[in-house]
Structure 1
Amino acid sequence: MSRSSDFDSLVPAVPFSRRSFMVSALGAGFALSVQPVAAQSVISTDSVDLNAGEIKIPAAGGEMPAYRAQPAQGNQWPVILVVQEIFGVHEHIRDICRRLAKLGYLAIAPELYARQGDPRQYSNVQELLDKVVSKVPDAQVMADLDACVAWAKAHDGNVGRLGITGFCWGGRIVWLYAAHNPHLKAGVAWYGRVVGPSSELTTKQPIDIAARLYAPVLGLYGGADQGIPLDSLEQMRKALVMAANPPSKASTIHVYEQAPHAFHADYRPSYRKSEAEDGWRRLQAWFKQNGV
């Protein structure tokens, strides 16, 4: 598949309401719905030698808050989009951006629910899912991620070396974005579902677009994940193997047999240190071997 070098037309017109933003700034700490945080295991990455903090991304309907981290020196850094869990851009997601910046990347984590509501105000996970997460259209998410790429291009990011990673809700988005943006080089999806029902807002699942990826995706999953059955991962593997195009065939799924869902989330009881560290090493190798 050809990859145009013209990024100026990257943001397409999309079929969702140009509603204004309900959330205009990022909050501190963690979402209420993940309290109490397992403080003893939280990884904290400093901002020494980094430029890190909140930015505003021009997007449909106004300005979208996002967290950005990049090296303090240099320019033309490769770009990695970081896609949140269902809990929004809280401290764990911001820390991941700083970890990536320490590796030499410009990392951007947009608050992708900002038009639908503030995930910080919900103490109940089901209420958060019902009132905010379920109302976020995939088309909106794709366009907002494109807007982040446009921002990175205008602020000294090398969007010719573009990657994406995401967790849980964001893991599913990684697969979708790999079939959306022809300029993407690689993606790493952490325990994002690959099969599920479709709706007016979520018209496709990763299994539906597996054969049409523009970039190879590394999927990292837990064998003890109660929400993502192993047979669904086998379905996805088969779809990738049977694909005709090279990016899909180059994609792979790695399963940590004893790991639960959210094994990389160091602020939660689900955290598994050895699997999380191994997955992080795999992420780095995957991006490097695919030109990010």
Structure 2
Amino acid sequence: MAHRPRRRFGQNFLHDPGVLRRMVAAINPTPGDAFLEIGPGQGALTLPLLERAGALTAIELDRDLIEHLRTAAADRGALTLHAGDALGYPVAELAPADGRRLRIVGNLPYNLSTPLLFHLTASPLLVTDLHLLLQREVVTRMAAGPGGRDYGRLSVMLQYRCRVIPLFDIGPGAFRPPPRVTSTFVRLVPHSEPPVVVPDEAALGRVVAAAFAARRKTLRNSLGALLPAERIAAAGIDPGTRAERLSLEDFAALARALPGAATS
């Protein structure tokens, strides 16, 4: 009996051969690549990657798919399967012991995309790139620059960790069952060094979260519990502006202005 996609797992299985070929071409797998796939589902992307790389590790939440995946991959390469929630597997525990960096791929469930994005990019030095299929509006937010309504906490914090490169859109008809939204395939490339100087990422995160918690308020009001207006101004930022107008470097300047923060 064919596996029925489960709504509670956010399952929408890719089935369009043309789309899959385009995704594999964008990923450009080579022998020896250390792939980690999140949510392989029925293996539509898993199998061509496995054939080209020779080995692949995958995390699948739906235990009913595990045996199907093992059988389908039996003559394609070395498939290592973990049954469970990807949020429960630190990336550092899945990185190869031989020092190769991971290449992460996945069709992320829309209802868990934001926590998974932060989880998968938490160890940038262990990851070469990520190729992810997400709801288009999420990718729009990830890639957004200052000045628009799509720009927010997700934009700033992901761009602190990675370059965000939207690749192409995929319509609902490429999936079974078809979702009600358009998806986007996106490439994330972790920075080898942080693009801005901050005391630590936690400090940047505190400033960004507070600034966007009430995005219609000016920084004078939204950051009042962290930074007085005069300290904001001393960092070179107008206390009367709103969070959506600030660049990543502006947020870094505010993080450096936090009481007790290092300034270099």
Name the larger-Rg structure.
2
Higher helix share: 2
Q: Which band: TM-score by shorter chain?
A: 0.3 to 0.5
Task: Give the TM-score taking structure 1 as reference length.
Answer: 0.33
